[in-house]
Amino acid sequence: MRQQLLLATAMTLLLLNGCSQKTPNMGNVSDSSQISGDTVSIDESGYGNESGNYNSSSDGFKSVYFKFDDYEISSEMQENMNTNISVAMSASAKVKIEGNCDEFGTDEYNYALGLKRAKAVKDSLSAQGVDSSKMVLVSLGESSPVCGDPAESCYERNRRVDIRLVK
Amino acid sequence: MKHLLLSLLFVNLFTSTLLAVDASLKIEKDVEQRARIAVVDGSSNEDSRVFSIFLSDLKISGHFLPDTTHHVGDVKSNFIVPALKSQEYIIKYTMSQQGRTSLFVRLIKASDGVELFKKSYAIPSSQKMPFLVHKAVSDINKVLGYPDISWINRYVVYAVYTTPGRSEIRLADYTFNYKKTIIKGGLNLFPKWADAKQRSVYYTSFRGVVPTLYKLNIYNGTKQKIISSEGMMVCSDVSKDGSKLLLTMAPEGQADIFELNLASRAKKRVTNFKGIDVNGRYVEDESRIVFVSNRLGYANVFKKSINSAATSQVVYHGRNNNACDAYGDKIVYTSRESSNAFGGNTFNLYLASSTSSDTRPLTTTGANQFPRFSADGSVILYLKQRAGSTSIGYTNLTSYQSLLFPFTDRKVQAIDW
């Protein structure tokens, strides 16, 4: 009786295995655990703690981001500024500091706001010992967005100062 | 004493009522003063675009009430069909756009068929067809003795962003039926007419390390470097005789307004503020300017004499008035009225004065920006964005007529007229 039970179980398993070999399951989502759990949503719009994620500067510099209608360098940007101080100190060419804005200003005022941001970065670099005569400012206003989607996460990437060497 | 007070109260009440009645009467009177006019197309190939430009010109003039029906008929005949007898005037025209573009117009008195005016206009480029219509309507307006509307013959110059870091400077007629790119490649912004005859434009080039102001003759392509400045370089206004410029510059990294004498090359600092001073415009006799500053902590319109330091606030309304234009003592400014930073993006236009506290709204819906006075100060051009569409708007300050034309270009950076 026991042998018959073992034989029947073995036959059933073989049969099941045979069936499963015919099923094209390669790459299929057959495990319900893969669809029952919710997927994650991550927010990469924050530039504060993740401050190296976005960068439209070049030559080793890091972009500095600003709040709406604001031109003060926030404490969250200090890490980027530390990098910029170190790169600027050792730069052999002139350093170009470009102020940028989101699309919500008009005419000249927006360009002036971009300039204030660039000036804030220049003053900060200068206070840390970077030679002022080595730096040149330009405001690009809203002319050079790095992101074009109509969303705040996008606008805040455009409110920035980019730094690069004059070549 | 009591009698005196009662008398004063009575006079005051009477005057207020009279003025209120006057205001409403004025509008009715204006409507009555406009001449009823019909336009009859005698072209072999009828073009609805030509007819609609005639209508726009007649409407925005503020002097005509045009019949909106596209009538067709013989241009040479003086016979007036009964349906048009109720009009005061009839314009008959033929437009030919084969080879060179030519327009023939006749102005006829509807009551008796008497010809008041006739003229032929021709131009080599068919793209410039709208200008023929504008010229004909401004001539007809002049023949009838109405106040000048030659501003409809002028070019609009404007800059649009094409891609990030790239722009084009274009010309258009006021209806934007005619458009032509005059500067492409690179980043060239803030176009401003250099002279009353619109032969040259100033613009800022970002080609070099620092922004540089150039003057371009739009007829022969001659380009002249004017001045450059670290940070910002914008030609905000040109004096009436073209001899002086109001510039926004930032030689020390702070945006301030300077006046440049083109003959002597003398540069005078007009504002000196550690915040933002931009958008200088000559007002009154050009010894004073209005400008936009954040000296009270938000963008607003201020006024000062070019030769003294005293600055006074001009606008006591709104919390974000970030652009303005001026003509004589008239000021038009943009006021941001959204409830939050990225909310409805409501910008409205207001008309104010540099010599009084009068302010009146010109728009009430949408985002209305880039206001610019016409060359005679009678009409204001602006860009209107509403419900996902963009238009170029015109408001006639005398007749209260407003017109919108579809605007299909990409994002506008600046406009001058």
pLDDT tens, residue by residue, B77-112: 988 888 898 999 999 999 998 888 999 999 999 999
A137 touching chain B per CB within 8 A: yes
A109 contacts chain B (CB < 8 A): yes
> What integer is the mean pLDDT of A129-155?
91
- The minimum CA-CA distance between B344 and chain A, rounded to whole Å, is 11
The one-character DSSP state at B231 is B
Interface test with A, best of B209, B258, B322, B381 (most A CBs within 10 A): B322
pLDDT for res B125: 85
CB-CB neighbors (< 8 A) of B323 in chain A: 106-109
Token reading at B402? 């407003």
pLDDT for position B357:
85
What's the CA angle centered on B359, arms B354 and B364, to 5 degrees? 135
Checking DSSP bridges between strand B367-373 and strand B379-386, what pairing results, if any?
antiparallel
The whole-number pLDDT of residue B133 equals 97
Q: Which residues of A touch B347 (CB under 8 A)?
A: 106
User: What confidence category does residue A53 fall into, taking pLDDT thresholds of 50, 70 and 90?
Assistant: low
Q: Which residue of B has its CA nearest to A143?
A: B165
Q: How far is A51 from chain B (nearest CA, A)?
A: 23
Asked if B209's CB is within 8 angstroms of A96's CB, the reply is: yes
Nearest to A166 among B209, B254, B341 (CB): B209
Flag whether residue A57 sits within 8 Å of chain B, measured between CB atoms: no
Which residues of A fall within a CB distance of 8 Å from B273? none
Q: How confident is the model at residue A36 (pLDDT cuts 50, 70, 90)?
A: very low
More confident site: B317 or B17: B317
Tell me whether A93 touches chain B (CB under 8 Å). Answer: no
For residues B367 and B365, give the distance between their C-alpha atoms in angstroms, rounded to a whole number.
Answer: 7
Q: How many Cα atoms sit within 13 Å of B283 on the Cβ side? A: 25
Answer whether A96 touches B (CB < 8 Å): yes
* pLDDT of amino acid A11: 55
Can you give the pLDDT at residue A28? 39
Is the pTM higher than 0.80? The answer reads yes
Confirm if B325 and B236 have CB atoms less than 8 A apart. no
Chain B hits for A94, CB-CB cut-off 8 Å, are: 209
More confident residue, B151 or A39: B151
pLDDT bucket at A8, cuts 50 / 70 / 90: low
| pLDDT value of residue A4 | 63
A23-27, A124-128, A140-144, B162-166: the lowest-pLDDT one: A23-27
Residue B25: which pLDDT band, with cuts at 50, 70 and 90?
Answer: very low
| pLDDT over 70 percentage in chain B | 90
Question: From the CA of A137, how many Å to the nearest CA of chain B?
Answer: 5
pLDDT score, position A106:
64
Task: Tell me which of A58, A101, A103, A108 to substitute to probe the interface with B (most B C-beta atoms closer than 10 Å).
Answer: A108
Burial (CB < 10 A; 0-12, 13-18, 19+), residue A141, is buried
Taking the C-alpha atoms of residue B177 and residue B273, their distance in angstroms, rounded to an integer, is: 43
Q: Do A118 and B231 touch (CB under 8 A)?
A: yes
Query: Using CB atoms, which residue from B206, B230, B322 is nearest to A109?
Result: B322
- How many whole angstroms separate alpha carbon B289 and alpha carbon B237? 10
**What is the distance between the alpha carbons of residues A141 and B216, in angstroms, rounded to a whole number?**
23
User: Alpha-carbon distance B100 to A83, whole Å?
Assistant: 64
Euclidean distance between CA atoms B113 and B206, whole angstroms: 59
Residue A29 has pLDDT above 60, yes or no: no
Q: Give the rounded percent of residues in chain A with a pLDDT score beyond 70.
A: 67
- B248 CB within 8 Å of a chain A CB: yes
Give the whole-angstrom CA distance, residue B353 versus residue B21. 24
Q: Please report the pLDDT score of residue A122 as a whole number.
A: 97
Element (H, E) at A20: helix A2-22
Residue A135 to chain B, least CA–CA distance (Å): 10
Q: How confident is the model at residue B32 (pLDDT cuts 50, 70, 90)?
A: low
List, for residues A89-103, the tens digit of each pLDDT value: 999 999 999 999 988
**Residue B45 — very low, low, confident or very high, per pLDDT cuts 50/70/90?**
confident
Does residue B224 register a pLDDT over 90?
yes
pLDDT band at B344 (very low <50, low <70, confident <90, very high): low
The verdict on a CB contact (< 8 Å) between A144 and B164 is yes
Under an 8 A CB cutoff, do B253 and A122 touch? yes
C-alpha A114: how far from its chain's center? Answer: 21
Q: Is A67 on the interface with B (CB under 8 A)?
A: no
In the prediction, which pLDDT does B372 show? 96
Choose from B276, B334, B339 for mutation: most chain A CBs within 10 A: B276
What confidence score (pLDDT) does residue B343 get?
52
pLDDT classification of A167: cutoffs 50, 70, 90: confident
Amino acid found at B42: G
- When the pLDDT of each residue in chain B is averaged and rounded to a whole number, the result is 89
* CB B282 within 8 Å of CB B239: yes
Query: What ipTM was estimated for this complex?
Result: 0.83
B23 has pLDDT over 50: no
Across A100-114, average pLDDT: 86
Helix (H) or strand (E) holding B53: helix B48-61
How distant is the Cα of B230 from the closest Cα of chain A, in angstroms?
6
Chain A contact for B204 (CB, 8 A cutoff):
no
**A119, A122, A143 member nearest B187 (Cβ):** A143
**What's the pLDDT tens digit per position in B179-217?**
999 999 999 999 999 999 999 999 999 999 999 999 999
Chain A closest-CA separation from residue B298 CA (Å): 10
- Alpha-carbon dihedral A99, A102, A103, A106, rounded to 10 degrees: -50
DSSP state of B75: S
Average pLDDT over residues A98-111: 86
